[in-house]
Structure 1
Amino acid sequence: MKALLRLPAFMLYYAFARHLPGSARAYAFGAGALRRFLARFLLDGVGAGANIEHGADFGSGRGIRVGKRSGIGVNCRVGGPLDIGDDVMMAPGVVILTQNHRFDDLTVPMLDQGYVGGGAVVIEDDVWIGTNAIILPGRRLGRGSIIAAGAVVTKDVPPYAIVGGNPARLLRSRKPQ
């Protein structure tokens, strides 16, 4: 049944629901609930209380799982394979990449070389990702970590770490010393 409704849900989401107001707006009138409903047909998994925000772009949705009370933020762009744990906060403008352009053949323009998968991104539970952060392919964001606004995550982030900058580096730990 889910497979039969995938194409209509895809069309409704990208033509209509994606453009409805953000969930927190007083005039949203259930826009978030509609986006979550359609996402259940598009994503591989959507946990209870998950939030898909205004402008969120997740391509076909294949290979993407969003945990309980987690969300894809306003105007975020994500691709699969991506596993978002429970209680993950994602601010506006976050980009999560899981593939890259090929560039190994010097005789062929990079534009014509296609793509190579860079690996799944795993975001563990209780992570906060700040505005305009970029997560590169194959990264793991540890439980309880915080990714500062504008950070470019090029390496795995340990649990309870606060990282920021380009490339992102450890700023401090949330754990008491």
Structure 2
Amino acid sequence: MALLRRQKKLKFVHRTFYMGKGVRVSGDLRAGRYAYIGPHSIIYPKVTIGDYTMLANDVSIIGGDHDYLKAGVPIIFAGRGLLSPTNIGKDVWIGAHVKIKAGISIGDGAVIAMGSIVTKDVEPYSVYAGVPARKLKDRFDDHKDLNKHRAMLENSHDQNAFDFEMLCK
């Protein structure tokens, strides 16, 4: 598995995708509009990152576990299992130093707290934290806010849907 260090070699990312210094990603990374990967992150193959999703610094999406059940064969020579796809939805925020097991699905709008270890799928619009990561609460308490937010994401295909200069002030 070759991990790339240069964004120029990535064929399946949107032109607005950005990654920080020292990031290593697989060449098959798929990333949507305004997706961001923070410095020193490591992203294994078969990962899809949705629109408007942020991964903070030192996030790792890792997997391909070694086959440790072969009797009489040292683990280093036993080979690796198949790597399952990892899907991270739209508008997700993953905090610094989070570790994500390959094959996990993280739903749209989810938030993963700093330092968490994600070993199971994450529900949409939920906040998770801990080792292992567990659901703390829903991101929105009010269904009206959730529906408004979902509608905004669905209509965001329009380049003028957001005033990014205003949002960055």
TM-score of the two chains, using structure 2 as the length reference? 0.77
Deviation at 1:49, TM superposition (A): 1.2
Contact persistence 1:80–1:98 (CA under 8 A): no
CA distance in 2, matches of 1:85, 1:136: 17
> Which residue pairs with 2:17 in the alignment?
50
CA distance in 2, matches of 1:71, 1:101: 30
CA distance in 1, matches of 2:11, 2:123: 26
In the alignment, which of 53, 67, 70 is matched to residue 35 of structure 2? 70
> Which residue pairs with 1:21 in the alignment?
none
Letter in 2 for 1:82: V
1:11-160 to 2 correspondences below 5 Å: 14=5, 35-36=6-7, 38=8, 41=9, 43-58=10-25, 61-160=26-125
CA distance in 2, matches of 1:149, 1:137: 18
Deviation at 1:119, TM superposition (A): 0.8
Letter in 2 for 1:152: I
CA distance in 2, matches of 1:122, 1:98: 13
In the alignment, which of 167, 172, 177 is matched to residue 132 of structure 2? 167
Deviation at 1:67, TM superposition (A): 1.1
Aligned pair count?
140
Deviation at 1:94, TM superposition (A): 0.4
Percent sequence identity over aligned pairs: 32
Detail structure 1 runs of 4+ shifted over 2 Å in the superposition: none
Deviation at 1:122, TM superposition (A): 0.1
CA distance in 1, matches of 2:17, 2:123: 24
Letter in 1 for 2:41: C
> Which residue pairs with 1:3 in the alignment?
none
CA RMSD after TM alignment: 1.6
> Which residue pairs with 1:25 in the alignment?
none
CA distance in 1, matches of 2:79, 2:11: 25
Deviations 1:48-89 (A, max 9, x none): 31112100011xx23311111002210000111000111011
Deviation at 1:44, TM superposition (A): 4.0
Q: Give unpaired runs (5+ residues) of structure 1.
A: 1-9, 15-34
CA distance in 1, matches of 2:50, 2:72: 42
